[in-house]
A and B are shown apart, each in its own frame.
Chain A
């Protein structure tokens, strides 16, 4: 699976990228804001999954989600918001814009796995390393 991590914080991109690579065996790309992410998504060989922060320069995460959902060719992109914005109304706003799930910062790697499991994405073992975790439902 191919993921795009969209966050203006370099350390957050690095943390999320590591979890997605190490626990899920994903190919991970990064984008520093919503506009850069949109530019990447409309290009070829696009990712299957985007993890999207809320507050970023140029284009916010929720604006990005709305833009993505306006484009039929991106309809099947799975979007997980990952943000410190955590008012239930904001969560509702992001879902209404078209986000599939919502993870609140700070989070643990287990919480990332929980959310991805809800989206039907199981930890992908790489090589013959046994995770002992079984596969998600």
Chain B
């Protein structure tokens, strides 16, 4: 089942205005998958009816809920393991050596969703780099979506979420049960911060970072916004800092701010001047 063209175009328009996200014509399936639970919850027979209700413009909460559902990404722990292996084996040792005099280390998960990416980085640091325990760590996750930010801050995950890519040794060591959920220990939660940020709007109040994870999010933006985001990311990196993108993504052809560095099975990007 697909959403009729006027309703689909209306959704495209709302998403673009709200978050500069481009919903391409081939994403009908995504609309169905993301909005079907809302239709069920609210007693609509079809997703199309949800969008029609939205178009009436009287229910602002519904509009927010739909935008949030469309912009939430499924995520897993240590997703595409290679970048995390590169952090463990090469990048963290290099940055820790470089920053040992000022004892700071900063990492930004720029589309943090429910937090697994940033918590994976925190888990990696805690389990492999005890020397940074008392450093000034800045582990920041940002997202546009309030619901996922709240979930990320709570650090509470379902069994299905815990099953996705998290090594059993880490579950045993860093999690406690809370009812049916698994809550990450306060020691880890206290090291991370999650806040709202629209990547397509000017970035205000961000520190500079040693590492930026900007993975699987640019696909949603138009070419001009992609370029703007990547060049902002380049300016937000410390000299010698690293940018990670999704396995199928690259800044090449969008901006010439970065050079490519292959580390193990992973690809990272550094600013040319480094």
* A interface with B by C-beta (< 8 Å): 81, 86-89, 91-92, 94-95, 99, 101-104, 106-108, 110-111, 114-115, 117-118, 137
Q: Which residues of A contact B182 (CB under 8 A)?
A: 86, 88
Q: Which residues of A contact B81 (CB under 8 A)?
A: 117, 137
B253 sits at the interface (CB 8 A): no
Q: Which of B155-201 contact A (CB under 8 A)?
A: 159-160, 162-165, 167-169, 171-173, 175-177, 182
The reply to whether B177 and A88 contact each other, CB–CB distance below 8 Å, is yes
Q: How far is the CB of B76 from chain A (nearest CB, A)?
A: 7
Q: How far is the CB of B1 from chain A (nearest CB, A)?
A: 23
Q: How far is the CB of A104 from chain B (nearest CB, A)?
A: 5
Across the interface, B171 reaches (CB within 8 A) one of A102, A110, A117, namely A102
Q: How far is the CB of B174 from chain A (nearest CB, A)?
A: 8
The reply to whether B168 and A110 contact each other, CB–CB distance below 8 Å, is no
B82 sits at the interface (CB 8 A): yes
The reply to whether A137 and B82 contact each other, CB–CB distance below 8 Å, is yes
Q: How far is the CB of A15 from chain B (nearest CB, A)?
A: 14
The reply to whether A88 and B171 contact each other, CB–CB distance below 8 Å, is yes
B57 sits at the interface (CB 8 A): no
Across the interface, B163 reaches (CB within 8 A) one of A81, A88, A95, A103, namely A103
Q: How far is the CB of A11 from chain B (nearest CB, A)?
A: 19
The reply to whether A88 and B175 contact each other, CB–CB distance below 8 Å, is yes
Find the B residue at minimum CB distance from A110: B164
Q: Which residues of A contact B165 (CB under 8 A)?
A: 114, 118
Across the interface, B160 reaches (CB within 8 A) one of A91, A92, A106, namely A106
Find the A residue at minimum CB distance from B163: A111
The reply to whether B177 and A114 contact each other, CB–CB distance below 8 Å, is no
Q: Which residues of B contact A94 (CB under 8 A)?
A: 168
B265 sits at the interface (CB 8 A): yes
